[in-house]
Amino acid sequence: MVPLAERYRDRLPLTGATPIVSLGEGATPLLPAPRLSERIGVEVWLKWEGANPTGSFKDRGMTVAVSKALEEGARAVVCASTGNTAASAAAYAARAGIPAVILQPAGAVALGKVAQARAVGARLLEVRGSFEEALAAARELARRGTHALVNSLNPHRLEGQKTAAFEIVEELGAAPDVLALPYGGGGNTRAYSVGFEEAGAGVPRIQAGEAAGRAATVATAIRIAEPAHRAEAEEAVARSGGAVVSLMDEEILAAWRELAGLEGVFCEPASAAGVAAIAKLPPERGARVVCVVTGHGLKDPEAAARLAEAPVSVAAELDAIAEAAA
């Protein structure tokens, strides 16, 4: 496959001297969602970002950020993360042959993401504090010059992430009427807005689903009290004619169940916030809506264990099994 950085080279901040660090990111499926469409009364498409190499959209930005960090001579990278940035930074750093330092809020990161960062040998620091405190520390380490910051405050991250909008326009032949996605720090909202603008096909109305209880939500990926990109993200949403939709955990989880049960798409809870946003504030009948499903369900196996039907224990006897299967 052609790495995203090669495919969109002319629209990314790359030079002939940039060593491309790739794990095969991008070119993710755009899935029709007929049953969700019928349920909500709009034409729903799912941009399935869980299909990226580390299972989230972060890989689009990380390939560019780590490639540029290498080009600029960085000897290590650092990020603060609710988990997906960490898993991605750790994997791309390993691929580049440099160390990654991860600062994560203690006890607030889903199991699969921690496993990913550990497996590829990142140095994982569990900060006894909030995501915001971890981010402040990561910025300071970067300022001291020992580590390159690969949070989305690094502009190369958003450059890479904007390519998802290019893919959607290429595949649909036009921008959709509405783009719905989760809103945590706001970087991805901003990246899509820029991407659609650069694609030249018009910017869809952006419905950004945020957790009402930002600092305390089941959707750990977006457990972010103070979005780093709030100003640009909310400005982009307003300019698009869209809205920030504030979601209760039950609304996010209902969308999570529907994505899985109606369409077979198993994502982590935060990733259902785009679908939840259109379920709560449905666009006009028949509107074409792309919902970005940002991360894979295997990231957060504990959520599935808590929220979905438990397995049934059964004796290894055909009669008992046939009865239980009915």
List contacts with ligand AN7 (CB under 6 A): 56, 81-85, 152, 182-189, 221-222, 268, 270-271, 294-295
Residues 6+ apart with CB under 8 A from 55: 84, 87, 112, 116, 295, 296, 298, 299
CB-nearer residue toward ligand AN7: 56 or 207: 56
Q: What's the CA gap between 44 and 291, in Å, rounded?
A: 7
What are the E-state strand segments in the chain? 30-32, 43-48, 77-80, 100-105, 123-127, 148-149, 178-182, 205-211, 243-247, 288-293
Q: How far is the CB of 184 from ligand AN7 (least distance, A)?
A: 3
Q: How far is the CB of 61 from ligand AN7 (least distance, A)?
A: 9
Helix (H, G, I), strand (E, B) or coil at 24: coil
CB-nearer residue toward ligand AN7: 263 or 268: 268
Q: How far is the CB of 158 from ligand AN7 (least distance, A)?
A: 9
Q: What's the CA gap between 93 and 145, in Å, rounded?
A: 17
Q: Could you tell me which of 105, 204, 96 has the C-alpha nearest to residue 150?
A: 96
CB-nearer residue toward ligand AN7: 258 or 300: 300
Contact assessment for residue 82 and residue 184, using Cβ atoms and an 8 Å cutoff:
yes
Q: What's the CA gap between 172 and 32, in Å, rounded?
A: 11
Q: How far is the CB of 284 from ligand AN7 (least distance, A)?
A: 26
Q: How far is the CB of 10 from ligand AN7 (least distance, A)?
A: 24
Q: How far is the CB of 222 from ligand AN7 (least distance, A)?
A: 5
CB-nearer residue toward ligand AN7: 215 or 321: 215
For every residue of 74-110, DSSP letters joined together read: -S-EEEE-SSHHHHHHHHHHHHHT--EEEEEETT-S-
CB-nearer residue toward ligand AN7: 19 or 211: 211
Q: How far is the CB of 84 from ligand AN7 (least distance, A)?
A: 3
Q: What's the CA gap between 28 and 51, in Å, rounded?
A: 6
Q: What's the CA gap between 251 and 25, in Å, rounded?
A: 30
Q: What's the CA gap between 279 and 38, in Å, rounded?
A: 11
Query: What residues does 289 pair with on adjacent strands?
Result: 44, 178
Q: How far is the CB of 187 from ligand AN7 (least distance, A)?
A: 4
Q: What's the CA gap between 226 and 229, in Å, rounded?
A: 9
